[in-house]
Structure 1
Amino acid sequence: MARKSALLLAAAATACLAAGSAEAATAKRGTFGKLADGRDVASVTLTNGRGVSVTLIAYGATIQSVVLPDRNGKKADVALGYDNIGLYETKPQYFGGIVGRFGNRLAEGRFKIDGKTYQTPVNNGKNALHGGTQGFDKVLWDVVSVKSGPTASVTFRYVSRDGEMGYPGTLTVDAIHSLDEKNQLTIEYVATTDKSTVVNLTNHAYWNLSGEGASNGAMGHLLTIPAQTYLPTDDGAIPTGEFRSVAGTVFDFRTPRAVGDRVRDARDQQIVFGRGYDHNWVVGRKVIPGQQLMAKVHDPASGRGFELWSNQPGIQFYSGNFFDATSYGKSRKIYRMGDAIVLEPQNFPDAPNQKGFPSARLDPGQTYRNVMTYRFSSGATPGRKR
């Protein structure tokens, strides 16, 4: 009888995610406290009729919470982060924020445009990471649009002035987040400039599909990345320029593999360099007009999962290697190594300095666009390679 009840609950949860809903998605405004300088931080919660909700805050255009039902209909917040703005300010860890102006790494913080060298702050060893010491995740964005309807959305805007963090050009960025009744969360980053510059924007959400703070962490998540090659790096996480085949390596996720199966395999020097996975997989060689599948994630413990689609050529996969039990999140549970994973659709790291990588240059009159879509689901466990 108990088994029959469990099966009925599972079927009901799956039907809830698969069937249509007559209810419109809603966008509700709120506040998330004040910054140390007294400015208010707006929040917007997007909710659909299937029990999915996403809360975003204007500081860093950040995904603060993503609530999803599991295979039995039980809801949990699956995005790591803080429950107060003070911790986002004083203990930043890129939780759910937009990273830029150039996300990922720039070798020695330098790049050239038309023969002129620009220097950005170095904040990751000898290199620049995620835009420098005051990247886009650490600034307050304006809320310019909030909409309810078949698709609920919020648009944040930030104007990065010419010379900010050493980057040329005044860059105007819109970060558009939308949630529909198909359980699709779409994030679209759109940018224009008045002077030639470099741009690479992405989102840095940390995911634990068992639930933020769940004791089993994310190492049991089954990951698929449809990429034939990845970018090996030096010991400072700067790509060497080689496109290396994943075949026969711990970087082969072309079929579902548990993240934790090989994350500590020190026989591969790249794992030693990254203290786990912190590399870019090559899904394509250029930005495309539509979207392509970047990754699939499935949590056998809860049944939750998502497909991640984007127009970008690469995806950075980071296995949470540097969580050191010095911070805790919304559930008041300490974050440790392997408690979450990050998947970031983007251009390749250090692209402005690498021949053979897609261009990261943006000129006046052009529009930069990174569109990523999370297709959330709950269902049966897919096949796993053993």
Structure 2
Amino acid sequence: MNLNIKEISGEWKEYTLVNDSGMSVSVLDYGGIMTKIMVPDRNGNLENVVLGYKDYLDYESNSNYFGALIGRVAGRIQGASFELDGKTIQLAANNGNNHLHGGPSGFHRVIWDVKPFQTDDTVGLELIHRSVDGAGGYPGNVDITVTYSLNNKNQLILNYMASSDQTTPITLTNHSYFNLSGNLTNTVQDHHVTLDSSQFVELDNDLIPTGKLIHVAGSSFDFRSGRVLGDGFSSDSYQNKVAGSGYDHYFIFENTMENQAIIHDPASGRVMSIKTNQPGMVMYTANSLNEELQLAEGSSRKYLGVCFETQASPASLHHEGFPSVMLNAGENYVKQTVFSFRV
């Protein structure tokens, strides 16, 4: 196990976690951003499996949220407002009339306090931040600790903990774009995905949940037995088309399988499985990624990555029947997502 620290432009630090088999994860204190995850393919070649900028200063704007830690609330909040105890709470609108991923001053733009740690079979980082009452419009002082741990089983474990002195919405996630082909060799069109989900949330033209749950049976959203992501890219389904000919939808987990998601890239042989105690996740297939960004291994393009944003649903702030994002004062928010890699 090893830990390397590098200064970035005098203001940020990049921490690289390395396990005994050579897998590594690089993380900035700025935004808790995962810049690289180096994972072996079937031939033992270590290659990067997440999208990241060539020039680290591009993370300052980072409108695509590459690799970032998202909060207080991941996803879109309709009308940038919600009701709490009979009062309307107004948030910053940064996605049309809506509030996206914690707003313009969300956790993706925070410099986190970082405490590295190491044991015999784990190397990791503890990221700490206090979000003060009124930050971004949200009520309550919230203390957040997020732990990134890499072990010798090629597992990346993300633990999220938070507490607040007022009732407030919170659902944290990581917004890494995965591409298991390695070093952006291909798009994710041929990635084979299995999801433990029989329902997803319908979206309107602004990608806001309508409040309706749709059963996946017989559709391009049925990943229960596995399918390639390209099925949705070429689908005539209105729900695929509204998302830009792809996926940007919240899937509710059934919790009938050992892992909530399994992703396989046949060309490289890499397999990533996701296990979480979150109630669902947004799967986003980079449908709106433009071709002007300079990434570490080349130019960006549509479908170059896929995000698995494990979280509760901000739709619960406006509709019943959705996994809640509300954290009561004095209670503890404790969530975990484990990304396991193999071939």
Structure 1 length-normalised TM? 0.85
Q: The residue matched to 1:325 in structure 2 has which SS?
A: coil
Match of 1:366 among 305, 309, 331: 331
Hey, what does 2:40 align to over in structure 1?
69
Hey, what does 1:352 align to over in structure 2?
317
Instruction: Determine the C-alpha separation between the residues in 1 that align with 2:252 and 2:55.
Output: 36
Hey, what does 1:109 align to over in structure 2?
80
Hey, what does 1:272 align to over in structure 2?
241
Structure in which a larger fraction of residues adopt strand: 2
Hey, what does 1:20 align to over in structure 2?
none
Q: Is 1:314 the counterpart of 2:284 in the alignment?
A: no
Hey, what does 1:234 align to over in structure 2?
204
What does 1:18-29 align with in structure 2 at a 5 Å threshold? 25-29=1-5
Instruction: Determine the C-alpha separation between the residues in 2 that align with 1:194 and 1:314.
Output: 26
Instruction: Determine the C-alpha separation between the residues in 2 that align with 1:325 and 1:305.
Output: 27
What is the CA distance between 1:172 and its match in structure 2?
Answer: 1.1
The one-letter amino acid paired with 1:32 is I
The one-letter amino acid paired with 2:214 is R
What is the CA distance between 1:254 and its match in structure 2?
Answer: 0.9
Q: Deviations over 1:143-190 (max 9, x none)?
A: 134324311111111111110110001111111000111111000111
Q: Deviations over 1:237-291 (max 9, x none)?
A: 12122221100011011112111123231x3111121112100111049xxxxx9
Hey, what does 1:9 align to over in structure 2?
none
Structure 1 297/105 Cα, relative in aligned 2: closer, same or farther at 3 Å?
Answer: same
What is the CA distance between 1:370 and its match in structure 2?
Answer: 2.0
Hey, what does 2:190 align to over in structure 1?
220
Hey, what does 2:148 align to over in structure 1?
177
What is the CA distance between 1:109 and its match in structure 2?
Answer: 0.8
Q: Is 1:342 the counterpart of 2:307 in the alignment?
A: yes
Hey, what does 2:30 align to over in structure 1?
59
Q: Is 1:32 the counterpart of 2:8 in the alignment?
A: yes
Please identify, of 360-369 and 242-251, the stretch whose mean Cα deviation from structure 2 is larger.
360-369
Hey, what does 1:98 align to over in structure 2?
69
Q: Deviations over 1:122-156 (max 9, x none)?
A: 11222111011111111111113432431111111
Match of 1:302 among 218, 243, 268: 268
What does 1:194-209 align with in structure 2 at a 5 Å threshold? 194-209=165-180
What is the CA distance between 1:340 and its match in structure 2?
Answer: 0.7
Structure 2 length-normalised TM? 0.96
Q: Gapped runs of 5+ residues in structure 1?
A: 1-24, 35-39, 286-290, 379-386
Equivalent pair of 2:145/2:161 in contact (CA under 8 Å):
yes
Q: The residue matched to 2:26 in structure 1 has which SS?
A: strand
Instruction: Determine the C-alpha separation between the residues in 2 that align with 1:138 and 1:264.
Output: 35
Q: Deviations over 1:56-106 (max 9, x none)?
A: 110111111100110001110111012443110134321111111110010
How many residues get paired? 341
The one-letter amino acid paired with 1:342 is C
Structure 1 372/279 Cα, relative in aligned 2: closer, same or farther at 3 Å?
Answer: same
Equivalent pair of 1:168/1:197 in contact (CA under 8 Å):
yes
Instruction: Determine the C-alpha separation between the residues in 1 that align with 2:159 and 2:37.
Output: 17
Q: The residue matched to 1:240 in structure 2 has which SS?
A: strand
Structure 1 212/92 Cα, relative in aligned 2: closer, same or farther at 3 Å?
Answer: farther
Moved over 6 A (4+): none
Instruction: Determine the C-alpha separation between the residues in 2 that align with 1:170 and 1:261.
Output: 44
Hey, what does 1:283 align to over in structure 2?
253
The one-letter amino acid paired with 1:76 is E
RMSD over equivalenced CA pairs, Å = 1.5
What is the CA distance between 1:329 and its match in structure 2?
Answer: 0.6
Identity %: 35
What is the CA distance between 1:338 and its match in structure 2?
Answer: 0.7
Q: The residue matched to 1:336 in structure 2 has which SS?
A: coil
Larger radius of gyration: 1
The one-letter amino acid paired with 1:251 is F
Structure 1 90/102 Cα, relative in aligned 2: closer, same or farther at 3 Å?
Answer: closer
